[in-house]
Amino acid sequence: MTFFLNRRKNREFVVPFCIKHECKRQSHFGCFFLIVATLFSPCLCHNISAQESNLKDGAALYSIGFGYEWMSDAYSSNGFALDVRARFYMSGQLFCELMGHWGTHEGSKSVLQKGNPFDIDDERNTLLGVVGLGYEIFQNENQTFDIYIKGLVGYGVRSSRFDDYQITGSEDGHVTLGCDIKKKGIAAAIGLGMDTRFKRWTLTPSVDVFYIGNEWNVATMISFGFFL
């Protein structure tokens, strides 16, 4: 935040410019861990007692997750996500889930102003709470591995601080520094994930798609949970 604000002290004016934007490819540890967990989680399952094989029906699963979040309106591919979840099983496969989610982004993109490189910056954050149903569409015999889908709705806030770019001609544009926008309202999430259970502990790679403030976010997460 300090870096973002200090940069504006050195900018006295902004004039129309032609925009040339080079996309920067970045690797993300969140995506790497998601792929690794997806490939190896079924292999890590081990035999459990008969009492624990039917653990889910009537149980509650509490988990915390972190990962990478992509935002549709962000200026770069930087992003981080954190969420907490409580899942309550109504049967061996059907569950109700409560989820709190926070996603953040801070980045920039390079444009040209009067033929010279010029960076415009943005900071974006989402915070939401949603509730809904999920179902395990695949489950192995002793319930140590499953694939689930879910749909959740609730309330959320999306806040953005950014340098805005507006097109004024075929190749020209105008920058407005330090714009602030906050949107509140209905939030929705759909998700796909895979649970691997080790007695009462779980490891879950997942992909969640969020809709809030007329924008879309996609988060790849790794979650750790415990059955009570």
Question: What does the pLDDT look like over 90-137, one tens digit per residue?
Answer: 999 999 999 999 999 999 987 777 666 778 899 999 999 999 999 999
Average pLDDT over residues 38-63: 63
Query: Is the per-residue pLDDT at 81 higher than 60?
Result: yes
- Model confidence over 163-207: pLDDT tens digits? 887 766 556 667 778 899 999 999 999 999 999 999 999 999 999
CB atoms within 10 A of CB 209: 14
Q: What is the amino acid identity at position 187?
A: A
Q: What is the mean pLDDT of the chain?
A: 81
**Top-level class of domain 2-227:** mainly beta
pLDDT band at 29 (very low <50, low <70, confident <90, very high): very low
- Write the DSSP string, 155-216: EEEEEEEEEEEEE-SSSEEEEEEEEEEEEEEEEEEEEEEEEEEETTEEEEEEEEEEEETTEE
Question: What residues contact 104, with CB distance under 8 A and at least 6 apart?
Answer: 69, 79, 80, 81, 123, 124, 125, 126
Domain ranges of the chain: 2-227
